């Protein structure tokens, strides 16, 4: 009988250690993520709460390493666990700062599947690195610590994948976006709130409620009876068919509608980007390849690259909301602002400027990031313009008044449909 009890204990204890480790390891990752988020929201200094969260994250990871190793039959585990916990703490996702993602990434399971070889290889390399460091100080079982390290470091890599794209536009209030859209255009400091507002609005309309059964479709090919995208009530206002009442939505202090403020903010971004591109084009056109020395060219390239991401999300967002207005703007806010003509005009100007800039690659010594940024901006502007042309081909496109150069451009694009 004693031998049976001992056998049962020998099976239950490793299982209990593994279960306890599987609880403590995610808890440690959660504490680490909380510390990272807290650090990203503070402009300076380290708070006591942040230090406590870092310590809790380290301790949970340390204990989970010991328990995992113990469940695999390793008795001397503290020294190696200390190494694994330290390295995993240094690899905490977001430690270098959290950055805004302009559009949400692909589905999580697809990203995990695509990065699975890298996750395994990275976890294996880090585990072997810790083993080499601790080989001279302690003796350990190779197989037990190899499995433990793979589990711990794989959890770090998976947390980084899950962290991407978790912030959605519904976390912001319409009034906050309206306040941000009227802020001065700035690429640093408090002016970044305008970047976030434009990105949230573009996010809401470009990636929205898919996978439904199609019945009556909108300009985007989505069903009419699905849930409207976030901020639709603020952008278009609402109208109740039952009581024949309408709500105009949010308004700026000067009385302008939400969409009017959004349109002005997005158009300002498109114009500023076009002007920055035209500065390079105009200098080279008048004086040739020697018009700018290397330092001057680098300054102008930096200005273009700085605004290129915001130009892309402004173009995609404005185009998306204008196309959606064909089916959802019952109050006619978009039409009253003449948004279709204004956006098409600015996109044509941006396309012309970018086309000339790209043609100067053999004349001016552009940096590779400048060429990639110009090409991606050109593709986004062209795609947005295509979408507007297809949506409004028989719904008001003939009423748009444009200069002859832009008219010929649109005619060429229409022939390519």
**Selection from 258, 408, 417 nearest residue 331 by Cα:** 258
Distance CA 38, CA 33 (A): 9
pLDDT band at residue 343 using 50, 70 and 90 as cut-offs? very high
The yes-or-no verdict on residue 273 having pLDDT over 90 is yes
Within 10 Å of residue 54's Cβ, how many Cβ atoms? 20
38 half-sphere exposure, CB direction, 13 A CA radius:
16
- Establish how many alpha carbons lie within 13 A of residue 228's alpha carbon, considering only the half-sphere containing its beta carbon: 16
Question: How many of the other CB atoms lie within 10 Å of CB of 335?
Answer: 14
State the burial class of residue 7 (Cβ atoms within 10 Å of its Cβ: 0-12, 13-18, 19+). Answer: exposed
Return the residue matching tokens 């708070």: 47
| Confidence at residue 87, expressed as pLDDT on a 0 to 100 scale | 87
Determine the average pLDDT of the residues in 409-417.
77
Cα separations in angstroms, 123 against 18, 148, 176: 19, 10, 41
State the pLDDT at residue 350. Answer: 93
pTM: 0.59
Greatest CA span in the chain, whole angstroms?
98
Instruction: Give the chain's mean pLDDT.
Output: 77
- In DSSP terms, which residues pair with 239 in a beta bridge? 246
Structure tokens given for 191: 């002016």
Q: Distance between CA atoms of 8 and 47, rounded to whole angstroms?
A: 48
Q: What is the pLDDT of residue 267?
A: 93
On the question of pLDDT at 275 being above 90, the answer is yes
What is the C-alpha separation between 164 and 173, in angstroms, rounded?
21
What confidence score (pLDDT) does residue 342 get? 92
What are the domain boundaries of the chain?
2-167, 171-415
Neighbours of 138 (CB within 10 A): 12
Confidence of residue 246 (pLDDT cuts 50, 70, 90): very low
Inter-residue contact 198 to 266 (CB < 8 Å): yes
Question: CA-CA distance, 359 to 281, in Å (whole number)?
Answer: 10
The whole-angstrom separation of Cα 70 and Cα 62 is 12
Summarised one tens digit per residue, pLDDT across range 181-217 is: 877 776 655 556 777 778 778 877 765 433 333 334 4
Rounded-to-integer distance, Cα 362 and Cα 261, Å? 40
More confident residue, 253 or 223: 253
pLDDT for 191 equals: 59
Strand partners, 245: 240
The string of pLDDT tens digits covering residues 347-402 is: 999 999 999 988 888 777 788 888 898 999 999 999 999 988 888 887 777 788 88
**Which two tokens mark 203?**
């996010």
Q: From its phi and psi, is residue 172 left (phi > 0), alpha (psi between -120 and 50) or beta?
A: beta
Which of the two residues, 27 and 39, has the higher pLDDT score? 27
- The more confident residue out of 119 and 6 is 119
């Amino acid at each position: 009988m004693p031998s049976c009890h001992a056998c049962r204990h020998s099976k239950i204890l490793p299982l209990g250690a593994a279960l306890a480790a599987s609880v403590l390891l995610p808890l440690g990752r959660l504490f680490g993520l909380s510390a990272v988020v807290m650090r990203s929201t503070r402009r300076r200094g380290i708070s006591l709460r942040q230090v406590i969260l870092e310590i809790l994250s380290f301790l949970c990871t340390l204990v989970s390493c010991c328990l995992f190793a113990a469940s695999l039959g390793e008795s001397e585990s503290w020294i190696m666990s200390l190494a694994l916990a330290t390295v995993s703490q240094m690899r905490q996702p977001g430690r270098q700062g959290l950055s805004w993602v302009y559009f949400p990434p692909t589905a999580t399971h697809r990203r995990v599947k695509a990065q699975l070889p890298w996750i395994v290889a990275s976890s294996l390399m880090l585990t072997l690195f810790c083993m080499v460091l601790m080989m001279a100080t302690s003796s350990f079982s190779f197989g037990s610590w190899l499995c433990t390290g793979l589990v711990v470091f794989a959890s770090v890599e998976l947390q980084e994948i899950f962290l991407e794209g978790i912030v959605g536009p519904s976390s912001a209030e319409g009034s906050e976006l309206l306040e941000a859209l009227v802020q001065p255009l700035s690429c640093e400091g408090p002016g970044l709130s305008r970047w976030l507002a434009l990105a949230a609005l573009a996010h809401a309309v470009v990636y929205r409620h898919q996978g439904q059964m199609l019945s009556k479709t909108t300009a985007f090919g989505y069903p009419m009876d699905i849930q409207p995208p976030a901020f639709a009530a603020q952008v278009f206002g609402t109208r109740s068919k039952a009581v024949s009442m309408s709500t105009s939505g949010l308004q700026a202090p000067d009385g302008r509608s939400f969409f009017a403020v959004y349109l002005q903010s997005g158009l300002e971004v498109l114009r500023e980007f076009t002007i920055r591109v035209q500065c390079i084009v105009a200098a080279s056109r008048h004086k040739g390849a020697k018009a700018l020395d290397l330092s001057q060219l680098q300054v102008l390239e930096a200005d273009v690259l700085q605004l290129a991401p915001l130009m892309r999300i402004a173009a995609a967002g404005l185009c998306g909301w204008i196309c959606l207005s064909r089916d959802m703007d019952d109050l006619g806010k978009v039409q009253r602002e003449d948004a279709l003509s204004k956006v098409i005009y600015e996109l044509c100007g941006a396309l012309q400027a970018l086309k000339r800039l790209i043609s100067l690659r053999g004349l001016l010594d552009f940096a590779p990031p400048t060429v990639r940024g110009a090409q991606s901006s050109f593709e986004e502007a062209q795609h947005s313009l295509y979408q507007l042309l297809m949506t409004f081909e028989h719904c008001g496109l003939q009423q748009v008044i444009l200069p002859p150069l832009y008219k010929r451009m649109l005619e060429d694009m229409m022939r390519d449909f």
